[in-house]
């Protein structure tokens, strides 16, 4: 892959939602812990893990909990494998993901299966390194025979070795409804002596309803 070094190093520290086309190197891993809070005081917490079993095989897991302002609790858990879709010979990187999971809402438990395709590439513009990625996925509910389709787009800009800006669009749609969110954020390395730790601070806004803002705080660590 012909990326600028700074761009590659940052991509290797991104969770799948940001750079799903990239695979972890053998023996390399990544974790993130994210907390979000909405204006209506809905809370959510997500823990994410990736590990490179081989250079062409990455395993991952995600666990999330949501607590509505009313006190209703829900959550999800999923496990997946990611592999290259084609042999990677140029700057464009393609990968596919297969997984399974479960959602719960109170006493209701709904298993699902998942599949996705991702594309990404690095770029260099006016001396600044960055990357672009598009992640698509479909989640099928096993019991209800319903599906949820998602498409996420990301543009990242590495302003300095310690500061990165990200601009993301999240779109999801089902038979009943769809929604699109705009999510800007910054990612920075707070301690020069701890280059493997990064913090993300950002927000998500539902397009068409600028009053619905959710704040996001995340701790990233690769190992």
pLDDT digits (tens, 9 = 90+) for 58-111: 999 999 999 988 888 999 999 999 999 877 666 788 999 999 999 998 888 999
Grade residue 170 by pLDDT with cuts at 50, 70 and 90.
Answer: very high
Could you tell me which residues come within 8 angstroms of residue 180 by beta carbon, excluding any fewer than 6 positions away?
169, 170, 171, 206, 207, 208
pLDDT at 5: 31
Instruction: Please report the pLDDT score of residue 88 as a whole number.
Output: 65
How many whole angstroms separate alpha carbon 168 and alpha carbon 135? 11
What pTM did the predictor assign? 0.83
Q: Which residue has the tokens 């609790």?
A: 73
List pLDDT tens digits, range 7-40: 333 333 344 334 445 688 899 999 999 999 998 8
Is pLDDT at 1 greater than 50 in this prediction? no
Estimate to the nearest angstrom the gap between the alpha carbon of 202 and the chain centroid: 13
pLDDT at residue 44 is higher than 60: yes
Per-residue pLDDT, 72: 87
Q: For residue 198, what pLDDT is reported?
A: 95
């Amino acid at each position: 892959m012909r990326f600028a070094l700074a761009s590659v190093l940052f991509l290797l520290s991104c969770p799948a939602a940001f750079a799903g086309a990239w695979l972890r190197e053998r023996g390399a891993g990544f974790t993130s812990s994210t907390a979000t809070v909405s204006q209506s005081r809905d809370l959510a917490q997500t823990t994410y893990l990736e590990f490179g079993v081989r250079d062409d095989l990455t395993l991952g897991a995600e666990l999330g909990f949501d607590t509505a302002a009313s006190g209703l609790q829900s959550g999800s858990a999923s496990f997946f494998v990611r592999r290259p879709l084609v042999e990677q010979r140029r700057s464009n990187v393609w990968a596919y993901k297969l997984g399974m999971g479960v959602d719960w809402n109170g006493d209701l438990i709904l298993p699902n299966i998942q599949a996705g395709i991702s594309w990404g590439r690095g770029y260099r513009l006016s001396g600044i390194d960055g990357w672009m990625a598009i992640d698509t996925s479909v989640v099928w509910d096993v019991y209800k025979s319903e599906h949820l389709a998602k498409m996420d787009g990301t543009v990242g800009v590495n302003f300095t070795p310690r500061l990165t800006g990200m601009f993301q669009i999240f779109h999801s749609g089902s038979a009943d409804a769809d929604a699109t969110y705009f999510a800007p954020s910054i990612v920075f390395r707070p301690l020069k002596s701890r280059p493997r730790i990064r913090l993300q601070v950002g927000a998500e806004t539902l397009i068409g309803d600028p009053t619905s803002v959710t704040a996001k705080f995340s701790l990233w660590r690769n190992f």
